[in-house]
Amino acid sequence: MVRPIVLVLIALLFGGMPASLAAQEQPFAAWLVDLRTEAQSKGISSATLDAALTDLEPIPRVIELDRRQPEFTWTFRKYMGKLVNQTRIDKGKQKLSQNSKLLNWNRLIRKRFN
């Protein structure tokens, strides 16, 4: 199971860059060292990193599925035509409204650590 703190660390450090792209460029162990170094440089404590990253291992099936996501394999036009419709847009607006407090919290974290 992926620890939630790992997802938060990756999101904070890589912003809009999909973690899969960063991981593809180097072996997992090297990527993990770079992640730890960057996190520490942004003020994340060793204790937090140890709790989040100790014994962390990639899950091959997750990586395989991640690399086949339509967002990375389809053209923009194909993606928009097949997956974006008015129902999804309306649902997205509803979820944005429902989760505005959480999203504002996320912005505060990004502002503090970026």
Whether 12 has a pLDDT exceeding 80, the answer reads no
**pLDDT tens readout for residues 25-46:** 679 999 999 999 999 999 999 9
**Residue 10 pLDDT exceeds 80:** no
Query: Is the domain of 68 the same as that of 88?
Result: no
Helix (H), strand (E) at residue 111:
helix 100-113
Per-residue model confidence as pLDDT tens digits over 58-98 = 999 998 998 888 888 889 899 888 888 999 999 999 998 99
Angle made by CA atoms 29, 32, 33, in degrees to the nearest 5: 90
Is there a single domain that holds both residue 90 and residue 68? no
**Same domain? 26 vs 67:** yes
Domain of 97?
Answer: 84-114
My answer on whether 65 and 109 are in the same domain is no
Pair (95, 44) in one structural domain: no
Are 52 and 92 members of one domain?
A: no
Q: How many domains does the chain have?
A: 2
For residue 5, pLDDT over 70 is answered with: no
Q: 22: buried, middle or exposed (CB in 10 Å: 19+, 13-18, 0-12)? A: middle
Query: Whole-prediction pTM value?
Result: 0.44
Verify that 28 and 58 share a domain, yes or no.
Answer: yes
Single-letter residue type at 1: M
Tokens, residue 105: 């919290």
pLDDT for res 3? 57
